[in-house]
């Protein structure tokens, strides 16, 4: 059996003397959508920061398509095909929508204007003038232009109006249908679990539960902790 697209083994993340992630294992298969859910402070952000190279893991292995990336700088990881849509979008507010798309490194950004006509309408505006939902679409479009092998989405629904959350998840559903491999980190666990093929529940820096999205949706513990059931 071929190795899954992303394989994380024994990942440990430390900030000085404080250990935030205590040796977790998980993987994302080709074409699979995997959700990583958990409360604030469970280690989701630290895990993502380590995967994308923003912080150096203290220990462990991060393999993408068989290539070891633990401790590599962010631009190497990006070039290897691991592209993040960061939390809070991290769009460049003072640069235009068009320039934000060009920053993906793609020579031709027109496909994204066809896919997201609202971005074409706003192409000359500073990205900071866009609504939160439009900024999220811009961040997703920018990441897609980089032709990711694995798309990392960090809290894509955070701070959005309910209608916009539905729009963003509709876009993610289309990407899933098209076979995009995704790792979805979400506080909005209900939506994330409905979308995901499989999910991991992160608790205090350890993987607590794991299973298919549907199974975790039926789990009483997950229901009480994350779904408000």
**What is the nearest approach in angstroms of other proteins to the Cβ of residue 102?**
6
Cβ 85 to other proteins, closest distance in Å? 9
Residues 137-196 that bind other proteins (CB under 8 A): 142, 146
Binding residues for other proteins, total number by CB under 8 A: 24
Query: Is residue 16 near other proteins by the rule CB under 8 A?
Result: no
The residue count of the chain comes to: 229
* Interface with other proteins, residue 105, by CB under 8 A: yes
Taking residues 39 to 68 in sequence order and writing x for each that binds other proteins by CB under 8 A, - otherwise, the string is: -------------xxx--------------
CB of 33 to other proteins, least distance (A): 21
Q: Which of 83, 137, 150, 202 binds other proteins (CB under 8 A)?
A: 83
Binding site for other proteins (CB under 8 A): 52-54, 73-75, 78-79, 83-84, 86, 90-95, 99, 102-105, 142, 146
């Amino acid at each position: 059996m071929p190795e899954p697209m992303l394989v994380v083994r024994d990942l440990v993340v430390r900030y000085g003397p404080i250990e935030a992630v205590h040796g977790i294992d998980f993987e994302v298969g080709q074409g699979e959508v995997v959700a990583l859910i958990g409360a604030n402070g469970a280690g989701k952000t630290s895990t993502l920061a380590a995967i994308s190279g923003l912080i150096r893991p203290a220990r462990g292995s991060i393999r993408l398509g068989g290539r070891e990336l633990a401790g590599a700088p962010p631009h190497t990881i990006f070039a290897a095909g691991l592209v993040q849509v960061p939390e809070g979008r991290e769009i460049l507010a003072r640069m235009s929508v068009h320039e934000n798309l060009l920053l993906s490194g793609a020579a031709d950004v027109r496909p994204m204007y066809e896919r997201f006509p609202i971005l074409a309408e706003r192409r000359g505006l500073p990205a900071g003038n866009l609504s939160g939902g439009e900024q999220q679409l811009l961040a997703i479009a920018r990441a897609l232009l980089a032709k990711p092998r694995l798309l990392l989405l960090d809290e894509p629904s955070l701070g959005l109006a309910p209608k916009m959350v539905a729009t963003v998840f509709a876009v993610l559903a289309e990407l899933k249908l098209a076979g995009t491999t995704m790792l979805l980190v979400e506080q909005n666990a209900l939506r994330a679990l409905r979308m995901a093929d499989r999910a991991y529940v992160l608790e205090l820096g350890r993987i607590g539960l794991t299973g298919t999205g549907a199974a975790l949706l039926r789990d009483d513990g997950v229901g009480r902790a994350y779904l408000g059931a």
